[in-house]
């Protein structure tokens, strides 16, 4: 897929991995639409990039549909919206709360599927390119899907669902010429780690075999661009983690 002039939607595009992706796509000449619940930050970024902004909760059908329609001739959709939570399954005062688990699954998994299904439905009406391609969807998993740590039951389960969604979705949409891939980041310097002290962030980065640092959002963005441009990448989950395999804690 050639990115120049295409319509691209970045869900969760106002910060972190999504912001870096929106910046990279805009630099490549794509017509970017940013969808995010963070209206002030999202509008400021959209103005900076000459992009569009739609306030959208990824779990809300009407709001995501509005973002898809704003993107116009949508050819690339990237799902970066997500939240985190840490809690042991059984604590000193009893079992883990159910509501945070439900919320993480709703945002991280159901929200990702909501973007996938609505974006793909719009892409299905596109004219195919020379290779028969009508669109690409890139979703965001996590290495926690494979090596969830103590306290990460909710987060790991939600991201594991995204990983499990990838191949069947790619097979399901193949007849329409729509590709689906997922990036599974390791430890990245994003707002999810914003509250961690600098010394602790450095220690986390040193756990990574190479490079021994936290990942940078622009590295995620560049992989997203490569997936879009490389037509043979389909139905795949790509770990982006510097060879990190997470220990139990």
* pLDDT tens digit sequence for 192-213: 776 677 887 888 899 999 999 9
Residues 71-91, mean pLDDT to the nearest whole number = 95
- H helix intervals, 174-216: 198-206
Which of the listed CATH numbers 3.30.1600.10, 3.40.50.11810, 3.60.150.10, 3.40.50.720 matches domain 7-240? 3.40.50.720
Mean pLDDT of the region 166-170: 98
Q: What is the mean pLDDT of residues 130-155?
A: 96
What number is the average pLDDT over the span 115-135?
Answer: 97
Residue 237: the pLDDT is: 98
Higher per-residue confidence, 191 vs 156: 156
Catalytic residue among 53, 101, 155, 188: 155
The mean per-residue pLDDT over the stretch 134-146 comes to 97
Reported confidence tier of residue 226, pLDDT bands at 50, 70, 90: very high
The helix/strand count (H/E) of the chain reads as 9, 9
Q: Listing from the earlier edge strand, what are the strands of the sheet with 52-55?
A: 52-55, 31-36, 7-11, 74-79, 135-140, 178-185, 237-240
**pLDDT per position as a tens digit, 78-87:** 999 999 999 9
Task: Assess whether 155 carries a catalytic annotation.
Answer: yes
Q: What pLDDT score was predicted for residue 208?
A: 95
pLDDT, position 102: 98
Greater model confidence, 248 or 172: 172
pLDDT in tens, 2-44: 999 999 999 999 999 999 999 999 999 999 999 999 999 999 9
Percent residues over pLDDT 90 in the chain: 91
Q: Would you call 160 helix, strand, or coil by DSSP?
A: helix
Residue 212 is predicted with a pLDDT of: 94
Query: How many angstroms separate the CA atoms of 180 and 185, rounded?
Result: 16
Whether 107 has a pLDDT exceeding 80, the answer reads yes
């Amino acid at each position: 897929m050639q990115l120049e002039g295409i319509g691209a939607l970045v869900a969760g595009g106002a910060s972190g991995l999504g912001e870096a992706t929106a910046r990279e796509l805009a630099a490549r000449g794509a017509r970017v639409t940013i969808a995010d619940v963070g209206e002030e930050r999202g509008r400021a970024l959209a103005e900076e990039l000459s992009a569009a902004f739609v306030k959208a909760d990824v779990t809300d059908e009407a709001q995501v549909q509005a973002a898809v329609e704003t993107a116009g001739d949508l050819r690339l959709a990237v799902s970066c919206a997500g939240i985190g939570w840490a809690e042991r399954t059984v604590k000193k005062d009893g079992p883990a709360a159910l509501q945070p688990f439900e919320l993480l699954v709703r945002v991280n998994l159901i929200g990702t599927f909501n973007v996938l299904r609505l974006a793909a439905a719009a892409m299905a009406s596109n004219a195919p390119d020379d290779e028969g391609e009508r669109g690409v969807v890139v979703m965001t998993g996590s290495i926690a899907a494979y090596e969830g740590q103590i306290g990460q039951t909710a987060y790991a389960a939600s991201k594991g669902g995204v990983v499990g969604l990838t191949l069947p979705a790619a097979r399901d949409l193949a007849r329409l010429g729509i590709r689906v891939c997922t990036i599974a980041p390791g430890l990245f310097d994003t707002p999810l780690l914003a509250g961690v002290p600098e010394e602790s962030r450095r220690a986390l980065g040193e756990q990574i075999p190479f490079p021994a640092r936290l990942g940078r959002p622009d590295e995620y963005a560049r992989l997203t661009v490569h997936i879009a441009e490389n037509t043979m990448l389909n139905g795949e989950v790509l770990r982006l983690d510097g060879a990190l395999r997470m220990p139990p804690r």
